Structures are given as structure tokens and as C-alpha cells.
Amino acid sequence: MKKILILILNLSLYITSFGLPILPPTKTVEISDTYFGVTYKDPYRWLESIEKPEVSTWFKQQADYTNSVLNNLKGRDELIAEWKKLDKLQPPRLRSITYENGRIFYRKTMPGENVGKLYFRQGNNGKELLLFDPKTYIKGKTLTLESAIPSYDGKKIAIGYSEQGAEVSTIKVMDVDTRKFSNDSIYPTAGIMNWTFDNKGFFYMWIKSADNKDPESRLNSKTKLHLVGNSTTSDVDFFSNGSYPDLKIDPGVYPYVALSEDSKNYIFSGVGSVQPELVQYYAPIGEAGSKKIAWKPLCTAADMLVRGFIVIGDEAFAVTHNNAKNYKLISTSLLHPDWSKAGTVLAEKRDQTLEYFINSKDYLLIVHSDGINNHLSKYNLKTKTTTTVKLPYSGTIDISCINTKSNNCNLGITSWNKPYTEFNFNAATDSLTPSIFNKPSVYPAAYKDLQVQEVEVKGHDGAMIPLSIIYRKGIKLDGKNTCLLDGYGAYGMSAVPYFSARENALAVKGVVIAIPHIRGGSEKGEEWYKAGYKTTKPNTWKDFISCAEYLIAKGYTSKAKIAGTGTSAGGILISRAITERPDLFAAAICNVGCANALRLEFDANGPVNIPEFGTVKDSVECKALYEMDGVQHVVKGTKYPAVICVGGWNDPRVVAWQPGKFAAALQNASASGKPVLMKVNYDNGHFTEDKNVTFANFADQFAFVLWQCGHPDFQPKQ
């Protein structure tokens, strides 16, 4: 009897106040790092050895337990069914439209279809022909079409596909007329770039390994040139640190090559990382066939060129933040490029930020933002004049030209409560007509009753933070609504309005959706971005906290009913928001999130992110990384909210141990009795096009936090 009683007492240690069993504590180890005289303990470092059986077993146990909890929630399957119903209502969707030599190539997704397929047709009205179906190409596997680049004559197309969200492409080459693949097969790669002008070969990004768990897998990547029909062993290292050591290309960046039909006398190269300032080179196209190209600098980071770069003939156009916090458009000659003396094409606007620009035959089409909505103008390349283009309604603009030989473009508009609508836009006449490619979206009547409130919230230091609030018409501001606060705030990426079927499906159920435009994005220009960057990064989660406090104070929700979510770099935001203010949130989602910033540079995708977050090798940046680190700020005995961490097993951007270590720390530390789950998506990476996987993934996340916020539709079945 005594032994039975002891057993019952021991088992009771693993029962939460919610009546749920929890996993036994994760072991800790005595490991630490000392940087600049400060020691940082890292008791969950062992979870980084993700290839070891002990670690993979830990993740599998966490995944199985999490699935057992989520499978018992009401509302989750209904949410998936709602998203599938909405998907089947939509017209066919055509994306990645490319025009070459009279042929139009595009990815098309039919209503209810899981992934898109690759098609082409001869001209706008030609017969549609299927080129590649990711569902049937390899029996038993659903692939993702990562890229499809046709040759300039339209007769061949290089196709890159990946599996289970891994973002590592296998490249195949197809003869478009026969729709048959050649023997060319290249793996592993990080994607296709350009075909050569003679249509005999193409450039691609070579990477060392497809293993996202190998921290060296993406170091010293190369742009290689492959000639169709040749063995990959003869592919040329066209541009890399290995082929051009004098350029001192950092091992962590991606060296790329580009060609432009608008400037065929040159070949261009550059280095890609999260650093927004462009670093590029160029040379006469005639040197492309030589063993050693005499690359000349086209722009350096000191030129402060960001957001867009276009060459037309001998003239280069770019956006800069040099003496322009809201950005301006400038140009220089390729004959003697000098960005310090560049001409101003379009001056900085006081109340709008320049977001991006593209070119058609006769115009530069320029998109500005007032912090929320976009505005369109056009610059006439012949007359050098700029005029405003009137749009049918406000929102986010997506404009593209399938080629630059005409002024015919595609222009789409969407907003928080208006679905994406596409038009054919004639840049010469400003006329907008219904799109020949994509028909308007279709949603049930309930989705037409969603309202939007745009407010500004006073932050901790007095800064005014824009906040977009989406809700169902007629809700009461009595503090009884559940609320999902969804933030990001990194890389200068603004939270632009768009119609999210996933989140709006919650809004029609009475959930308040709130999108904070926090520092680290660039809704208010370059200064707004740099105010949430490296040493100023705390403003990102503090702005998020201020917006949560506003929503509670105004009666949109309450502490017991608000959940926060952050994805990818938004993992910094959410992990620090709940460790700084654990009392403020009922629940949180750390979705494929960077929650262990001090260790970020030691995973496969870490080195390329150093320009955004910093490195432990710098004393100031090391302290900043500590401030960003959610794992480092978990304190034992604290009453933390309910948390679900999500990791993609095939994720090449944020390896699964980042959210995994945060989940382990919270499980061992939290005194609230609320559940902390680690969800592992073995069929996913950072994301995937596969709708079945995506719907199940987000339904689990949303069902969990809405359950914890007390929403009646998302409670346990038993």
C-alpha cells in the first residue's frame, strides 16, 4: 500500500493544473560560453546535436506527446475543413508568370489543389499545356516546384523542385516542345538563376550539402555554370570566393550572377545576405567566356543602395537611404558609376516610404507606402517626368511586368478585409481592366463583415506604433474577446495589409486579429527599421508588449484571452515578449522561431544572418544577442503562459533545435501549470506549398492558443 501511494504521488508531479499529463523534465548539462568576461550558461546545448539518436528521440517523444494533446481539441478539424472549403471556392491561381519568345510560362493551382503545376502556352490565347506535375513526378511523393526558368528562346526550361519543405533543389532540364527531360540532373542546389543569352546553359547556386543540420552545409557556396548535356563534374565555378579570392567574399553569403535583357552588354554579380545594402560587380559581357573576369565594383555597402536595382542600357537605377530616411530613387551611368554623384530620379517623400520599383518598356513603376497602404506612380524614361496613377481602392499593390518589351503589366491589390484582385494595367494609358490571368477571389458573406481599425499606440519610449485591428462587425469591446496578436519586426520587412484566409477564418468566429507595425520593420522608413536592429532590438518586443497592453486597455480583449505569435525572426519577438511580460499573455506561438539568438550564428543559416542580428565575436553585438535570446531569459519558478513551439525537421533557415531549446527551458521552469508543447513537423521545413501540411500545421497552432484563451469552439473533446 505504501509503494502504491508513493507511485501515485510521483505520478502527480506530471499532472498540470489543466488536468494534462506533461513530459518528464528534460535533462540539463553543465555547458557555458564566456564572451568578453561574461559567462552564459547553456544547459540545453546537447539538443543542438540533432543528428544523435538521443536528441532525435527527444524530439520524437515531444512530437508524439504534442500530437496526442492537439488531436483531442475540438475546432481544429473544423478549421482545416473551413480553409479547404475556402480554397475550393477560389478561381484558378496563376503565379510566377514569365514571357520568353512568345511563350508564357506559369505555375497554376486549381481550386482545392494541394500544390501548383507548371504550364505554358503560346501567347495569351494559346492552348494551355502541362509541363510538370509535382504530385506525380516521383511516385508516392508530393514535391514542391521551387523555380522554373525558361531559356530566352523559350525552347528549354530549367525546373527546380524540392521535397517536404527542405528548400534544397534538384534541377532538371526539359525540352518544351517534346515535354521530355534531358539527362541533366543537379543536386544539391539553392536554386536556378539565369540562362546564358545563347540558351546553351544556365547559372545555379551550388551548396556543399543538403543536410540542414550541418552548420557548414551552406558555407562557401558558389554560382556555377552548367552547359546543357554536359556532366555536372565539368560545371564551372563561375563566381565564388574560390574563383575570385581577391574579392574576399565572406563564406556565409551567397555569391550570385545576373544577366539583363535590358542591358545585354554587361554581366553582373553580387553577394547575397540579409544585409539590405547591395554589394555588386559588373564586367563587359565579352569577358563571360574568359577564365578570369575583371570584375569592377558597381556598388558597395557604403553606397547604401537597397530595395531595388535595375539596369537599362548603360544606366543603372537604384533606391537609396543615403540622406533619405524614407528612401529615394537615383541613377548613375555604367560607363563611370559614381553613386555619390548620382542623379535624383525621384526625391524622398516626407510622408511616404519608397518600397520598390520595376520597369516596363517606357516607364519605371514606383510603389510608395504611407505606412499601411501603397501608392503607385510612374516615371517616363523618355520625358523624365513622374505622374501619379489612380487606383480603384487602397491596399497593398503587387505589380509585375512579364517582360519589358511592352507596357502591359499585372497589378494586384489586397487589404486586410479585401481579397486579392488582379488587373491588367497598361502603363502608357493607366487603364485597368480585368486580369486575363487571375479572376477575383470568392469568399462567403461572413467574410464581408470584417472591419479594420487603424490606430497608433504609444510605446514605452513615447514612439507611436501603428496597429491594425481586424474584427467581426458588431463585437463588443468588453474584454471578453479572444485575440491573436501576430508580429514580426525584422529585416526592415513591413507588415503590409493582405487578406489572410487563415486568420480571417478566426475573425469570423469572433477572434480579434491584431497586426502591430513594430520597429524592426520599415513602416516609417529606415530609422524605424534601425530602431529595432541589433542593439536597439528590444524596441521590437517592447512595441509588441505596448500593443498588447493597448488591446487590453481598450476592451478588445483581456490578459486571460490574448495570445501572441511570432514566426521565424519573429521568434525573437515572441520569446522575449513572454519572458519579459509573462503575466500579459494567456498563450503564445513560437513558430519555427529564432529563440536562442546567442547560438544563431552556429547553425547552417546563421552566418548569413549576422548582418541583421550580430555576432558573439563583437563585444557590443554579443550583449545585444543576449538581450534577444529567449532561452537565456527563462527563469525557473516563473508563471509563464501556455506555449506551443513549432519546428520544421527539414528547415534550412531555422533549425529545429532553436524552438526546441526554448520549449525545453520553459517546460522545466514554468510554475503556472500551463502546457508547453514542442510540435515537430517531419513533413515540413520553414514552410511548404503543400496545403494539406500547411493547413494541419496552423490549425494545430491556432487551436492550441484559442483553447488556452478559453474560446468555446476549441476545448478538449474529453
Task: Give residue 392's pLDDT.
Answer: 93
Q: Is 150 exposed, middle or buried (0-12, 13-18, 19+ CB in 10 A)?
A: buried
SS3 content of the chain, % helix, strand, coil (to 5): 25, 35, 45
Find, among 574, 454, 573, 469, the residue nearest to 511 by Cα.
469
The x, y and z cell numbers of residue 11, run together, are 505520478
Q: What is the DSSP letter of 58?
A: H
Task: Give residue 21's pLDDT.
Answer: 66
- The DSSP secondary structure of 143-154, one letter per residue, reads EEEEEEEE-TTS
- Measure Cα distances from 122 to 67, 116, 155, 409, 617 in Å: 48, 20, 12, 18, 55
CATH architecture of 445-708: 3-Layer(aba) Sandwich (3.40)
CATH architecture of 94-252: 7 Propeller (2.130)
Q: Mean pLDDT per 10-residue run, the chain (718 residues)?
A: 30 48 87 98 97 96 96 97 97 96 97 96 95 95 94 98 94 98 97 97 97 91 98 97 96 97 97 96 94 96 97 98 98 97 98 98 98 97 98 95 94 97 97 96 96 98 98 97 98 97 97 98 97 98 98 98 98 98 98 98 94 98 98 98 97 96 98 97 94 96 98 94
Reading phi first (left if > 0) and then psi (alpha if -120 to 50, else beta), residue 614 is in left
- Whole-angstrom distance, CA of residue 54 vs CA of residue 427: 60
Q: Are 370 and 357 in contact (CB under 8 A)?
A: no
Q: Give bridge partners of residue 108 from the DSSP assignment.
A: 94, 117
Task: Give residue 289's pLDDT.
Answer: 87
Q: Are 600 and 609 in contact (CB under 8 A)?
A: yes
Rg (C-alpha) for the chain, rounded Å, is: 26
Query: How many other C-beta atoms lie within 10 A of the C-beta of residue 36?
Result: 11
Q: Are 566 and 511 in contact (CB under 8 A)?
A: no
Query: How many other C-beta atoms lie within 10 A of the C-beta of residue 353?
Result: 27
- pTM (2 d.p.): 0.95
- Whole-angstrom distance, CA of residue 649 vs CA of residue 655: 7
Task: Give residue 290's pLDDT.
Answer: 86
- Measure Cα distances from 442 to 418, 447, 616 in Å: 10, 10, 50
Contacts of 238 (CB under 8 A, 6+ apart): 203, 222, 223, 224, 225, 257
Find, among 515, 523, 520, 571, the residue nearest to 548 by Cα.
515
Q: How many residues does the chain have?
A: 718
Q: What is the DSSP letter of 128?
A: P
Find, among 706, 707, 696, the residue nearest to 67 by Cα.
696
Q: Are 87 and 691 in contact (CB under 8 A)?
A: yes
Task: Give residue 20's pLDDT.
Answer: 64
Task: Give residue 14's pLDDT.
Answer: 44
- Whole-angstrom distance, CA of residue 585 vs CA of residue 604: 32
Q: Which helix (H) or strand (E) holds 356?
A: strand 353-359
Domain boundaries, the chain: 94-252, 260-337, 349-442, 445-708
- Whole-angstrom distance, CA of residue 365 vs CA of residue 221: 34
